[in-house]
């Protein structure tokens, strides 16, 4: 999983407008792949996960498909301003929704499409500057 994640990040990174955009994609990709491995494949190394990444003029689109049964997408609640979820499952989905512009499930939940609009930072320039200073 680490090699696949890194290959996608290496592919999209040169096209990211800033580090925040790159980290958002990394976090959502990590969560989606972890869900596919754990829930879709049941941690079975013999099962295969498909992952594709496309850079469109307006957005990054990453699709992950696993061989699992899927799940009830409507059962996942991301309530509150910070999308806090205190249940035992679904926190990764809430996290993906918080950093991506669109998170769409297909095939009964066994395929997820992550879409991030290019060049749209989650922080204003002032917040980005203070965020950069905090992480130095």
Q: Residue 100: pLDDT band by 50, 70, 90 thresholds?
A: very high
70-82 pLDDT, tens digit per residue, is 998 888 878 654 4
Is the pTM value of this prediction over 0.75?
yes
> Tell me: the pLDDT tens digits for 108-133?
999 999 999 999 766 544 444 433 33
61-81 CB burial, b ≥16 within 10 A, e <16: bbbbbbebeebeeeebebeee
Tokens of 19: 């580090």
Beta strands in the chain (DSSP E): 50-55, 59-65, 102-106, 111-117
If one compares 88 and 22, the residue with the highest pLDDT of the two is 22
**Per-domain residue ranges of the chain:** 2-134
Please report the pLDDT score of residue 132 as a whole number.
37
Question: Which CATH number is 2-134 given?
Answer: 3.30.565.10
Model confidence over 32-70: pLDDT tens digits?
999 999 999 999 999 999 999 999 999 999 999 999 999
């Amino acid at each position: 999983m680490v090699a696949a994640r890194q290959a996608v990040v290496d592919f999209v990174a040169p096209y990211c407008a800033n580090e925040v955009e790159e980290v958002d994609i990394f976090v959502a990709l990590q969560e989606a792949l972890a869900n596919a491995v754990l829930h879709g494949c049941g941690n079975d190394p013999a099962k295969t996960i498909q992952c594709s990444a496309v850079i469109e003029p307006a957005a990054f689109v990453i699709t992950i498909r696993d061989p699992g049964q899927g799940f009830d997408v409507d059962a996942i609640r991301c309530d509150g301003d910070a999308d806090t979820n205190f249940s035992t499952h679904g926190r990764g989905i809430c996290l993906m929704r918080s950093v991506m512009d669109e998170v769409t499930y297909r095939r009964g939940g066994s395929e997820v499409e992550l879409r991030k609009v290019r060049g749209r930072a989650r922080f204003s320039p002032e917040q980005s500057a203070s965020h950069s200073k905090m992480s130095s």
